[in-house]
Amino acid sequence: MNAPEDVALAQFRRELEASSSWDGFSCKARVWALQGDVLRRYLCARGGHVAKATAMLVNTVVWRRQTGLTFPITSTKEGGFFCGISPNDLATQIRTGKNYHHGHDQWGRPLTIMRVKRDCDGAHWRDKLRFMVFQMERGRWLARSRAAGTSQTEESDTSRAPASLGGVSWLFDCSGQCIPFVCFMEFTASDRFGYKNIELRLARDLASTLQNHYPEQLGLLLIVHAPWVFRTFWNTIKTFVDPVTVRKVVFAKATTPEELREELSPYVEPGQLESCFGGDDPYEFDPDRYMEELRREEERATRKSGQCIQ
């Protein structure tokens, strides 16, 4: 950070420490909010405006407590992961394989794989929103864990974005029957696309949650096999989207695995890319193994004192 940013960050910290909005909150919630990477993300999201960033962060602390989320201070793979939402409560959605973490991009950010066609489990929109919050929390944990491990085991490389600040990258596979959450229009000209799996209430609340409580967390959004209607929709609305966000959205034109491999390689190394996308990774989502992994993470976290705290 440069000198003006350092001054703004110090002022932001003082504003938060002096804020009367902390009445009724645990000291651990305050410690979480005063972490350097948290402060930087919220300050950046409000364009360096300290008062707005303060209001935004305090609102997030309130929201996390109301939602039952924890306030993690440290993140390590050995410490496990528990955010206040148990994977056992989300087992039906998790087991569909519609959204899972696997691999990382060229900058070390975790990859969240979204298989749109699998989002047909009939879950209520509130349960879907809770599942997406769980995924965001786990993605942040993976990012911070990887950053902590990298800082200890790898030499510094200024060309690589810090995973703790760069957030999580997403790979949207739009092949199949459904359209991604952000496409709010009905399209019935083809059996391949439909409105039945897109709930506007979920899309609205998800967008609001990501914007207000997970600022500066999008690394890249890689979209493959997108229908033309979605491309048209994006081209229409992107003029109203923050230019920084627009630059993070990548539509792959490729249609075959071989073409995808070449087009995605600047963003994801072939060794981190599943073979169905043209990569060298033979990984296939296994619901039993994935659930077991999540349960082990939860068990380690709940055993380790102070790892995840309210």
pLDDT in tens, 1-21: 566 677 888 999 988 888 777
Report pLDDT for 2: 62
What proportions of the chain, in percent to the nearest 5, are helix, strand and coil? 50, 10, 40
Digit-coded pLDDT (tens) for 52-102: 999 999 999 999 999 999 998 766 666 789 999 999 999 999 999 999 999
Q: In what order do the strands lie in the sheet with 168-173?
A: 99-104, 110-115, 168-173, 218-224, 249-251
Using an 8 Å Cβ cutoff, are 84 and 122 in contact?
no
Q: What is the dihedral of CA 75, 81, 82, 88, to 10 degrees?
A: 170
Report pLDDT for 246: 86
Tell me how far apart the terminal alpha carbons of the chain are, to the nearest angstrom: 30
Report pLDDT for 92: 94
Report pLDDT for 194: 43
- For residues 14 and 28, give the distance between their C-alpha atoms in angstroms, rounded to a whole number: 17
Model-level pTM?
0.83
Report pLDDT for 190: 40
- Parts of the chain with a pLDDT under 50: 151-165, 179-198, 305-310
Instruction: Name, in order, each residue with C-beta under 8 angstroms of 133's C-beta and a sequence gap of 6 or more.
Output: 67, 69, 85, 209
Report pLDDT for 42: 94
Report pLDDT for 191: 40
Beta bridge partners of 169: 111
Instruction: Give whole-number Cα distances, 266 to 6, 71, 105, 250, 269, in Å.
Output: 32, 35, 9, 11, 7
Percent of the chain with pLDDT over 90: 49
The DSSP bridge pattern shows strands 218-224 and 249-251 to be parallel
The token pair that represents 87 in the structure block: 């994977």
Report pLDDT for 77: 62
Collapse the DSSP code of 250 into the 3-class scheme (helix H, G, I; strand E, B; otherwise coil) and give the result.
strand
Using an 8 Å Cβ cutoff, are 198 and 185 in contact?
no
Report pLDDT for 158: 33
